[in-house]
Chain A
Amino acid sequence: MTHPADIRRLPSGVPGLDAILGGGIPEFSLTLIVGAPGVGKTTLAHQMMFSFATLARPAVFFSVYGEPPLKMLRYQQQFAFFRADMIGGAVRLVDLTEDIAAGDLDAVLARIQEEVKALAPAFVFVDSFRSILVAAQRQADGSRKLREFLYELGLFLTGWQTTTFLVGANAPEGGAPPIFTVADGLILLEQSIHRNSMVRKLQVLKMRGQATSPGVHTFRITGEGIEAFPSATIRDDPGKVTGNPPSPPHSTTRIAMGVEGLDAMLGGGLPAGYSLLVAGPSGSGKTILATAFLAEGVRRGEPGVIVAFEQTPSQSRTPTIDNMVRAGQVGLINTRSLDLSIDEIVQRLVLRIQGMQAKRVVIDSLSGFELAVAPTFREDFRESLFRMIAALSSLGTTVLMTSELEDRYTDLRFSPYGSAFLTDAIIVQRYIEIASGLRRVISVVKVRGSAHSTEIRQYEIGDRGIAIGARIDDYEGLLCGRPRRSEKPPAAARGRPA
């Protein structure tokens, strides 16, 4: 009976990366990390190295630099993952700059072999591999010598059972060097600058023996190091990726909104797992409605999470939300960054939802969200929303999103993002003018797969939140902001004896 080789997958130590890799870095593999200068290749390599290395399974980092190792050490130790106490023990740094300067690849190979034999590392890093390619190109028979070097290096390191990373530049124009072919894994890092924002992107172009997450993912470099944000994929059943819009989970459970009268308008509450869009102009009380939604959840033992995009602290948050956040009943994700990717928000949100076992999510607001997303992603904002809603739906959370409506009364719109069709339910709030007075009205426009009220009801905002009042029977054209008295008598009046 034969058994396939058991390939252990090593956790990379880079948050989010293992999900993209398909489980981690395959043990004894040779992986290339490529990308333009400054994109974070060495940082990624160091972060994995400090995560992998132990005294029993040490790592060796061969520096073959264009930049002096002194500078590399100076800047890399700014990251939280850098452990000076591991240098010389679990992590060995070996400078090969002098060796490569001579251009003798055989000597470089011999030096690497000598160090590996002496130190018996479980992990080997060579940074930057580009220096080796350049050295080979300088030689008369450089191409052949490079192939021989790569073959010997790959064979030797495999024989010594090391998990190896070669850090280098992108494939040169005119064809990839042989190393791109012989490598088991290929991680490509890129960065794009659009106006005032920079977005870093990551692709796993190859990882033998495992299913990687395809496509472009974003990552961020902070003082903690690299954090990757796997692109949200949409699955309609385990393992099957689909491009169809997400269907809300069939649920007979209805959840209370926390606003008296609103549940009845929704047909008995909002179906659990639905996404709800609350659209209205500035000051119409969208955040107050969202607050009531979260507070009702807390009252019923359902934790919530709110994603706010405020440029100043507590710009739009209500004291009730602040209190619930302080009490740990509601998780707050607030960002003032203007270079986010949708995947970054989704990842933070998913972690928070899972951590708190949250049932209710509020995104306040889509307008702020669009501003926070890096310009390069704004063109895909609608698609991004679609993926986010799908990801949240798969977690079984009920999502309330607010959307700013322009004070435009000549047409009837629910969202400037065309996001209305993405959501399962829509509530619209409007200002109307009646008898030289400004009043607020609310209506349920849509609850997918459910009967709901079509009434237009007045509401007031007071100290206790939203109070929904009577419906307005004797006017028409309310949602266009120019109500006029209906020529027909109110329904209640019809049928009365004259």
Chain B
Amino acid sequence: MGVGHTDDAIGRTLGVRAAGSADAGAMAAAAVATWQDVALQLAPVIGARGFDVLLGRALHLASRSFPWLGDDWSTERAADRAQMLDTLGRRIAEAAPAAAAHASRATFDIFNDNLAALIGAPLAERLLDPVWALPAPAAKEIAS
């Protein structure tokens, strides 16, 4: 289960980013863009390496329920993040639409829970609020 109000917010954000499409490719793009936003918010505070380690663990744990996500995520270097997200996007895009949505949502939930366990739910929510408050993809330029 996700932390606090982010439970609904994650689903809403992914839905908005995917423009309501049930297509796995749209969900993949939405998930990758959201992860980039999460990294933008967190890396200045917990460090780029801190973010990468948490993302790697979230993917590792999510792969237990969604084996097609794979468990070969390397988080040794921050520079690998782009490649990591490319791979993630590709695997989600190749999944069935429902599985793509569930896996994406589950990975964010796990990530949030782990972050909250480490730094507390209030601070985790505070740091990620700008990501979940995103009204629409067009409202913010997605950093690459």
Residues of A within 8 A of B (CB): 63, 65, 68-70, 73-74, 77, 84-85, 87-88, 93-95, 97-98
Contacts and interface: CB of A to CB of B under 8 A. Distances in A.
Interface string B97-120: 000000000000000000000111
Nearest to B124: A84
A88 B127 contact: yes
Which 4 residue pairs of A and B lie closest in terms of their CB atoms, listed nearest first? Answer: A84-B123, A84-B122, A95-B47, A93-B45
A70 B119 contact: yes
Given A69-B46, A70-B119, 15 more contacts: A63-B47, A65-B47, A68-B46, A68-B49, A69-B45, A69-B47, A69-B50, A73-B46, A73-B118, A84-B122, A84-B123, A93-B45, A94-B45, A95-B46, A98-B48
A98 B43 CA distance: 10
Nearest to A86: B126
B55 to A, nearest CB: 13
A85 B126 contact: yes
B118 A98 contact: no
Interface in B23-59: 43-50, 54
B78 interface: yes
A73 B123 contact: yes
B46 A77 contact: no
B49 A87 contact: no
A70 B115 CA distance: 9
Interface size bracket, B side: 10 to 19
Interface of B: 43-50, 54, 78, 118-120, 122-123, 126-127, 129
Contacts of A77: 119-120, 123
B124 to A, nearest CB: 9
B38 to A, nearest CB: 14
Contacts of B126: 84-85, 87-88
Contact of B123 (A63, A65, A87, A94): A87
Contacts of A69: 45-47, 50
B44 A68 contact: no
B119 A95 contact: no
Contacts of B127: 87-88
Contacts of B45: 69, 73, 87, 93-95
Contact of B50 (A70, A85, A94): A70
B71 to A, nearest CB: 23
A66 to B, nearest CB: 12
Contacts of B118: 70, 73-74
Contacts of B122: 84-85
A94 B44 CA distance: 5
A97 B47 contact: yes
Contact of A97 (B49, B120, B129): B49
A65 B50 CA distance: 12
Contacts of B46: 68-70, 73, 95
